[in-house]
């Protein structure tokens, strides 16, 4: 049986001169994961030019002065069934260089972002779209448990939520609306990627199949 190595990681804000490096990390982390190639590095680039970015969540995970992972959040909201709007943060992209995955860098960044959110009175929750098998280990639950649907009114297995203490006593049921920056233009993403070293694109890898399964696990509320 293979033993998973856990090491210590520091977390800090990303410096502007590190933007290129972190975009490269996200590209390496997401390449061929959800589809052939990826667009998440372009998404991170767009997020940093958006007024919806939560600046204190633009972070890097560091081991011995080497950046091995990064993450950022955007502002979003839940359009409540009760007529109230709830401010939330959308986590992602979050990624770790492949050679460092499984050692705790991702977990460290998630904990840091949750702790940061708890100290900010604005968000009631953190939401993301990801594999429940991973995020359930980090304090996330299916958003469906709280009556939260996608913008088009669907319960989605991939939609996960970490409810924050400041949401105590509130009803969060409603439609989750993420920031428009997540509507990435594929052609623009492809053009942005052309500025990076060439990488072959693969189809049919394990994670792509898992993503297809999760995407299909949606139902009308």
The CATH number that applies at residue 79 is 3.40.630.30
Comparing 4 with 120, the larger pLDDT belongs to 120
Q: What 3 state SS string does 8-41 have?
A: CCEEEECCHHHHHHHHHHHHHHHCCCCCCCCCHH
Q: Is residue 3 part of a domain?
A: no
Host domain of residue 131: 10-216
Tens of pLDDT along 166-202?
A: 999 999 999 999 999 999 999 999 999 999 999 999 9
Is residue 1 situated within a structural domain? Answer: no
Cβ 42 vs Cβ 26: under 8 Å? no
Q: Are 114 and 59 in contact (CB under 8 A)?
A: no
DSSP for 171-194, please give it.
---EEEE--GGGS--HHHHHHHHT
DSSP strand pairing (174-177 vs 66-80): antiparallel
The answer to whether residue 221 is domain-embedded is no
CA–CA distance, 92 with 191 (Å, rounded to integer): 21
| Whole-structure pTM value | 0.94
Q: What is the mean pLDDT of the chain?
A: 95
- Quick: pLDDT tens for 39-78: 999 999 999 999 999 999 999 999 999 999 999 999 999 9
Does the residue 4 lie in any domain?
no
**How many other C-beta atoms lie within 10 A of the C-beta of residue 159?**
23
Number of domains in the chain: 1
- pLDDT bin (cut points 50, 70, 90) of residue 221 is confident
Residue 2 lies in a domain: no
């Amino acid at each position: 049986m293979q033993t998973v190595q856990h090491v210590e990681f520091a977390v800090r804000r990303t410096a502007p001169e590190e933007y290129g490096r972190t975009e490269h990390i996200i590209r390496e982390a997401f390449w061929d994961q959800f589809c052939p190639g990826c667009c998440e590095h372009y998404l991170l680039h767009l997020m940093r030019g958006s007024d919806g970015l939560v600046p204190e969540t633009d972070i890097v995970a560091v081991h011995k002065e080497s950046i091995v992972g990064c993450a950022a959040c955007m502002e979003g909201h839940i359009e409540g069934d009760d007529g109230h709007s709830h401010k939330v943060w959308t986590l992602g992209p979050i990624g770790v260089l492949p050679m460092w995955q499984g050692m705790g860098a991702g977990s460290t960044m998630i904990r840091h972002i949750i702790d940061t959110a708890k100290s900010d009175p604005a968000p009631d929750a953190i939401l993301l779209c990801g594999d429940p098998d991973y995020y359930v280990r980090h304090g996330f639950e299916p958003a469906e448990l709280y009556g939260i649907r996608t913008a088009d009114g669907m319960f989605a297995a991939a939609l996960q939520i970490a409810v924050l203490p400041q949401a105590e006593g509130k009803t969060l049921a409603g439609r989750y609306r993420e920031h428009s920056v997540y509507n990435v233009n594929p052609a623009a993403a492809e053009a942005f990627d052309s500025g990076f070293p060439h990488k072959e694109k693969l189809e049919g890898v394990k994670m792509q199949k898992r993503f297809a399964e999760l995407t299909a696990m949606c139902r009308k509320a």
